A and B are shown apart, each in its own frame.
Chain A
Amino acid sequence: MNDDITQLLVAYQEGEKDVLDELYPIIYNDLRLIAKKQLHRSWGVGTLSSTALVNESYLKLLGATSISFTDRAHFFSLASKAIRQIVLNYAESKNALKRGSDWQRVTLDQTLADDQKRVDQVIEVGYALEEIERLDPKLAQLVEMKFFAGMTELEIAEVWGVTDRTVRRSWHKAKALLAQALAV
């Protein structure tokens, strides 16, 4: 498994872009399983640390194998993309929970309005991110890493091999774009 992923990463690195198709599902599935475990703990309310998620998955998938710096960057970009998908799915499911059949499971007089707002926000960011991807894939990746995967600016700087100042500037741009995209 580990070798598979490393080799796939190397291949990807060497320009075989289509290996992404093979790599992504592996990472995605793994993250999803870890996420599911985390979500199902604690009082029935999902608490999921996406940073821990990435790290756990990183350790599990790549373990001690020494992979190059760029491979690492690729891994995190893929993982963040996967987590974005997981988080959005989760948000959608929470949404469904309030609207669909699972409303049966919630005590009637709960204060749900606040939750609803936050769920909606996350889902909207998900849509807006598709716009930004078209415009500037690097910024979109940043949103994935920081907002969805919960990586810190320092971690992202390390993965990208840039200064944290650069990350901070990109984040500023990304938020400005998101604010515009969400404005209407």
Chain B
Amino acid sequence: MALDVTPERWEKIQAVVDALFDLAPAEQEEYARKASGDDVLLYDEVMQVLAFEDRSMTFLDSPAMASLSNTSSEQDLPDIEGYRLRERIGVGGMGVVYRAERDQGDFTQQVAIKLLPQWQARTKSRQRFRQEQQLLANLEHPNIATLYGGGMSAAGLPYLIMEYVDGMPIDNYCNENQLGLAIRLRLVRQVATALQHAHSQLIVHRDIKPSNILVTPEGEVKLLDFGIAKLVGEVDLNLTRTEEQLMTPGYAAPEQVLNLPITVSTDVYQLGLVAYLLFTGRQVHFDASESVGELVSAICEKEPVKPSQAVDANAGLLSSGVGAASWSKSLRGELDAILLTMLRTHQNERYASMAEVVADFDAYVDHRPISSLSQSSTYHAKKWLRRYRSAVSVTGLFVVMLAAYAITTSIQSKKIAAALTQSDFERQKAQSVADFMVDMFKAADPNVSGINTITANQLLEQGMEKMEGDSGISPSIQARMLTSIGEIYYSQGQIEESRTTLELALVKQKLESGGNELDLAKTLTNLAVIYNQTAAHSEAEQLYIESLNLQNSRFADNKTEERFIANLAETYNGYGVLLLDRGQLLEAERRISQSVELLKGGKLTHHEQYANALSNLATIRITQGRLQEASDHMKAVIELQERTTGDTHPFFSLYLVSLANVLVKLEHFDEARPYIDRAILLQVQILGENHPDLANSKRNLGVLIQHQGDIEQAEKELREALIIREANFLKPSLMTGNAYRQLGSVLIDKGEYDEAKTALEQMSHHYSSVNAGNITLGLGSCSQARWAYRQGFYEKALINYERAMEQLAGNDLRLAVAETGYAQTLLRLNKTNRSIEYARKAFTTRSKRLPVGHSLIGQSQAVLGLAHAQNEQLSQARSHLRNSIVVLESSSSSRAVAVTDVLTMARARLASL
């Protein structure tokens, strides 16, 4: 350092300097000489300080922070007419950005002005600058900084006037506010929709990075700097790509690094990088920061580490009170898959459009399946099909192919045409439909590189538009098309769109006299499925009946046609499910059996529709108490399903649960447990931890465990089931009511009557909101009665059991539940004779209908024994009590509270006799 003076020396120097400051300039030199005396050096040193000209040190006069903040001094700011430029606020890929103001009447408008700097103002860049201006002017979106206008500065430099955004870069914003994953996801989704909009205007951003994504104090995202955006596919820009590849190294997509064509999927990739940073606290290639070369090879060759495994425990994201472990747990599975799909090296392996990214984010948030997780593209479509819904039948093949096309665009139009031709029974019509579909796909491809893929929705919307606008297409083909489109909507879970489309198809079909009746029937069935699902039962029933009539009138001509049989079976099956839902058990059984028989007769027992129908039949058998049959059916269904579609099919886990459910009723708990565990494992893997199907499995697991006597664990499972259900369904539902009933039952077991009451009230609320059938209501009444009984409110229990018996009158096995309870209550009220009467009825029913040794038989018998004892019919009492004790002790339910209760009484009573 140049300062080689000592403090003492400086003390001397500055004493003289201070004295000099008080003197007139003319006197200073003389005083200095005098004060220095013999110390000649001192004179020099003093004068050096005094005479110091601060020209070189002017920067010290403005605060250090100002120079660091790029705030240029006034004279550096360019002159732009009508605006006062305030400060430089950024340097972007294509120029310098200033904050500027303009007086607008009473207020001052803040704008950002982007100016092309001198050294960059070459013809080509100006050309591009003008393009950017035109391009941006087309972009109007709440999440994109608006372009107000542009022009030439006084110095001849082009500039753009844009919306001034007072915001923070998205990464800082998230960390500063310690935002959780859900909000981060929402912000990324906002960016995605903004980009989706830009893409629809054929604009790609190409330089997406946190500093280009600001978040305003209101929490709104603003996307800045389409500075290097260019018209997608507009090749003739008189510039070759190699010449000017503008990018940000850490946020470059492989195609940018490799000078390959830029497409919308470049934005998908870059958004993936941003999302990765926001979700994990790390940049994707965080370990490749040494050199451009290393980064390039990382971008082009390395598969990113899964986000869930990249969570940076030290990053700001974890300050939001969430541990690294649970943070990465929320990323595991779906978000991992979405981000990795966005970050694929090869463009055609990424999401083909931003709309798909948005759709998957939404699916993730709504706990629907995401497309990127699918093993095959048909998985996605199948995912939506349930017991109620039309299974993937022969026509389904066609639908799935279309849906798959729309989702993955991996299938050529030709293949679709071929598939249509093959699977259709009217070649002529099929050809028209195929042509139409192919046209639709072509229309969707604006012949612009990068946008050669579109989403299913866009496809469908365009298809609809085209169809409505094209008078050359006959109504019957239109209807066929609409039906297909409706099915695609349906397969994607867009019920409302599906309904509208199918209704339109129906109108068209009905308008046309002499149209194809089977087509009409197909539409009717599809629409009925939807109506039934939206609880419009009577509308649904009309359509089913109409559809069945149409199909049966053509039965003779088509009975060998596989597709015809499958469609008819599907209609019977759907109608059966409707009847089942309405509690019309016998009618339901008839329809579903017809479906099963039809498929058997058509040798279609390998068909997926068969598994569907058989599983519904099993449901009916369960309700009828024909448990062994139900169990056999379900085992067959599971075997068929696993063989034909594998264990990742969404139906498969549901079937496992149904089987477990039957086995629980048979008290084969040990046999049931592995099925339910497997179902839960599959569901967590495939559907995530918040899916309604999982809630159903947990509910059944809860019931199983309750029977085994572990009420704490049972309560836990049931409560988890309810959390999932409540999170998924805002409206009341039967299943949620059932879960509350089970929870109430467990809480009664535990003796927590207040909580049990709350649960049962919830149950009643759900049941009455959905107009639950009598059997359901009867089981609810039984729970309420048991609640009263256990607390000694016997009169109240009696009333509830009486109501239950009315409600359950049509179902003997369930009636026995009410009868047993009723008998027990009567006993408490010393109405011994009537108690014996009802206990015997229940005992008889159960002995007849349940397998030997079932604990329910034992329970009824114990009550019967107790009643006899009270009536002093000692020998009968002894015999019943002894027998029941043996049954109850040896049953696998022996530790269940309901069993131990009655067992204790029976033993005590027997001992006293």
Nearest CB on B from A154, distance (A): 14
CB-nearest residue of chain A to B92: A107
Given A43-B224, A104-B295: A147 touches B165 (CB 8 Å cut-off): no
By the criterion CB–CB under 8 Å, are B67 and A181 in contact? Answer: no
Q: B556: CB under 8 A from chain A? A: no
By the criterion CB–CB under 8 Å, are B176 and A125 in contact? Answer: no
CB-nearest residue of chain B to A41: B168
Nearest CB on B from A166, distance (A): 9
By the criterion CB–CB under 8 Å, are B247 and A108 in contact? Answer: yes
Q: B14: CB under 8 A from chain A? A: yes
By the criterion CB–CB under 8 Å, are B169 and A40 in contact? Answer: yes
Chain B contacts for A125, CB-based, 8 A:
60, 64
Q: How many residues of A contact B (CB 8 A)?
A: 62
Q: B70: CB under 8 A from chain A? A: yes
- Of the listed stretches B206-214, B740-748, B831-839, B856-864, chain A binds B206-214
Q: A65: CB under 8 A from chain B? A: no
B residues 192-211 near A (Cβ < 8 Å) are 207, 209-211
Given A100-B289, A172-B52: A43 touches B209 (CB 8 Å cut-off): no
Nearest CB on A from B35, distance (A): 16
Give complex CA distance A75, B55 in Å: 32
By the criterion CB–CB under 8 Å, are B166 and A41 in contact? Answer: yes
By the criterion CB–CB under 8 Å, are B60 and A147 in contact? Answer: yes
Q: A135: CB under 8 A from chain B? A: yes
Chain A contacts for B17, CB-based, 8 A:
173
Nearest CB on B from A151, distance (A): 9
Q: A66: CB under 8 A from chain B? A: no
CB-nearest residue of chain A to B289: A101
By the criterion CB–CB under 8 Å, are A87 and B89 in contact? Answer: no
A residues 30-52 near B (Cβ < 8 Å) are 36-37, 40-51
Given A104-B251, A111-B91, A147-B60: A181 touches B207 (CB 8 Å cut-off): no
By the criterion CB–CB under 8 Å, are A109 and B54 in contact? Answer: no
Chain A contacts for B295, CB-based, 8 A:
104
A residues 46-104 near B (Cβ < 8 Å) are 46-51, 87, 90-91, 94, 100-101, 103-104
Give complex CA distance A178, B207 in Å: 42
Q: B601: CB under 8 A from chain A? A: no
**Which of B69, B93, B172, B214 contacts A107, CB < 8 Å?**
B93
CB-nearest residue of chain A to B56: A179
Give complex CA distance A121, B64 in Å: 9
B residues 796-846 near A (Cβ < 8 Å) are none
Chain B contacts for A94, CB-based, 8 A:
68
By the criterion CB–CB under 8 Å, are A182 and B2 in contact? Answer: yes
By the criterion CB–CB under 8 Å, are A177 and B49 in contact? Answer: yes
- Of the listed stretches B3-11, B258-266, B466-474, B614-622, chain A binds B3-11
By the criterion CB–CB under 8 Å, are A121 and B67 in contact? Answer: yes
Give complex CA distance A114, B68 in Å: 10
By the criterion CB–CB under 8 Å, are B3 and A132 in contact? Answer: yes
Chain B contacts for A128, CB-based, 8 A:
1, 3
Chain A contacts for B54, CB-based, 8 A:
172, 175, 179
By the criterion CB–CB under 8 Å, are A118 and B246 in contact? Answer: no
By the criterion CB–CB under 8 Å, are B3 and A180 in contact? Answer: yes
Q: A106: CB under 8 A from chain B? A: yes
Nearest CB on B from A80, distance (A): 11
Give complex CA distance A143, B289 in Å: 37
By the criterion CB–CB under 8 Å, are B10 and A46 in contact? Answer: no
**Which of A51, A107, A111, A148 contacts B96, CB < 8 Å?**
A111
Give complex CA distance A178, B2 in Å: 9
**Which of A50, A106, A143, A173 contacts B65, CB < 8 Å?**
A50
Given A41-B166, A44-B90, A173-B49: A184 touches B59 (CB 8 Å cut-off): no
By the criterion CB–CB under 8 Å, are B68 and A43 in contact? Answer: no
By the criterion CB–CB under 8 Å, are B57 and A178 in contact? Answer: yes
**Which of A106, A135, A148, A178 contacts B7, CB < 8 Å?**
A135
A residues 1-46 near B (Cβ < 8 Å) are 36-37, 40-46
**Which of A50, A105, A127, A172 contacts B251, CB < 8 Å?**
A105
By the criterion CB–CB under 8 Å, are A42 and B91 in contact? Answer: no
By the criterion CB–CB under 8 Å, are A115 and B70 in contact? Answer: yes
Chain A contacts for B207, CB-based, 8 A:
107
By the criterion CB–CB under 8 Å, are B52 and A176 in contact? Answer: yes
Give complex CA distance A118, B290 in Å: 25
Convert A140-184 into 0s and 1s, putting 1 for each residue whose CB lies closer than 8 angstroms to a CB of B.
Answer: 000100111110000000000000000001001101111111111
By the criterion CB–CB under 8 Å, are B63 and A148 in contact? Answer: yes
By the criterion CB–CB under 8 Å, are B168 and A147 in contact? Answer: no
By the criterion CB–CB under 8 Å, are B60 and A37 in contact? Answer: no
Q: B87: CB under 8 A from chain A? A: yes
By the criterion CB–CB under 8 Å, are A131 and B48 in contact? Answer: no
By the criterion CB–CB under 8 Å, are B249 and A87 in contact? Answer: no
Nearest CB on A from B254, distance (A): 15
Chain A contacts for B773, CB-based, 8 A:
none
Residue of A146, A150, A173 with most chain B CB atoms under a 10 A cut-off: A173
Chain B contacts for A42, CB-based, 8 A:
89, 166-168
Chain B contacts for A45, CB-based, 8 A:
69-70, 88-91
By the criterion CB–CB under 8 Å, are A49 and B49 in contact? Answer: no
Chain A contacts for B70, CB-based, 8 A:
45, 47, 115
Q: B595: CB under 8 A from chain A? A: no
Nearest CB on A from B446, distance (A): 29
By the criterion CB–CB under 8 Å, are B69 and A175 in contact? Answer: no
Q: B449: CB under 8 A from chain A? A: no
Chain B contacts for A51, CB-based, 8 A:
63
Nearest CB on A from B262, distance (A): 15
Give complex CA distance A180, B10 in Å: 13
By the criterion CB–CB under 8 Å, are B69 and A47 in contact? Answer: yes
Q: B685: CB under 8 A from chain A? A: no
Residue of B63, B119, B214 with most chain A CB atoms under a 10 A cut-off: B63
By the criterion CB–CB under 8 Å, are B167 and A122 in contact? Answer: no
Give complex CA distance A40, B290 in Å: 26
Chain B contacts for A180, CB-based, 8 A:
2-3, 48
By the criterion CB–CB under 8 Å, are B210 and A105 in contact? Answer: yes
Give complex CA distance A148, B49 in Å: 22
Nearest CB on A from B510, distance (A): 60
Nearest CB on B from A145, distance (A): 10
Chain A contacts for B176, CB-based, 8 A:
36-37, 40
Q: B248: CB under 8 A from chain A? A: yes
CB-nearest residue of chain A to B249: A104
By the criterion CB–CB under 8 Å, are B97 and A43 in contact? Answer: yes
Convert B68-88 into 0s and 1s, putting 1 for each residue whose CB lies closer than 8 angstroms to a CB of A.
Answer: 111100000000000000011
B residues 151-209 near A (Cβ < 8 Å) are 165-169, 172-173, 176, 207, 209
Chain B contacts for A112, CB-based, 8 A:
91
Chain A contacts for B165, CB-based, 8 A:
43
Q: B21: CB under 8 A from chain A? A: yes
Give complex CA distance A108, B166 in Å: 24
Chain B contacts for A148, CB-based, 8 A:
63-65
CB-nearest residue of chain A to B11: A136
CB-nearest residue of chain B to A172: B52
Give complex CA distance A134, B250 in Å: 43
By the criterion CB–CB under 8 Å, are A108 and B248 in contact? Answer: yes
Q: B143: CB under 8 A from chain A? A: no
By the criterion CB–CB under 8 Å, are A47 and B3 in contact? Answer: no
CB-nearest residue of chain A to B49: A176
Nearest CB on A from B53, distance (A): 9
| Chain B residues within CB distance 8 Å of chain A | 1-3, 5-7, 10, 14, 17-18, 21, 48-50, 52, 54, 56-57, 59-60, 63-71, 87-93, 96-97, 112, 117, 119, 165-169, 172-173, 176, 207, 209-211, 214, 224, 228, 246-251, 283, 286, 289-290, 295
Q: A44-B211, A90-B68, A150-B63 are in contact. List 8 more A-B contacts (CB 8 A).
A: A45-B88, A45-B91, A101-B290, A128-B1, A131-B3, A135-B5, A175-B57, A179-B57
A sample of 24 cross-chain residue pairs with beta-carbon separation below 8 angstroms, ordered by A number, consists of A40-B172, A44-B172, A44-B211, A45-B69, A48-B65, A49-B65, A91-B64, A91-B68, A103-B249, A103-B250, A105-B209, A112-B91, A119-B68, A128-B1, A128-B3, A131-B1, A132-B3, A134-B7, A135-B10, A148-B65, A150-B66, A175-B52, A176-B52, A182-B2
- Which 7 A-B pairs give the minimum distances between C-beta atoms? A104-B250, A101-B289, A150-B63, A44-B211, A176-B52, A40-B172, A118-B67
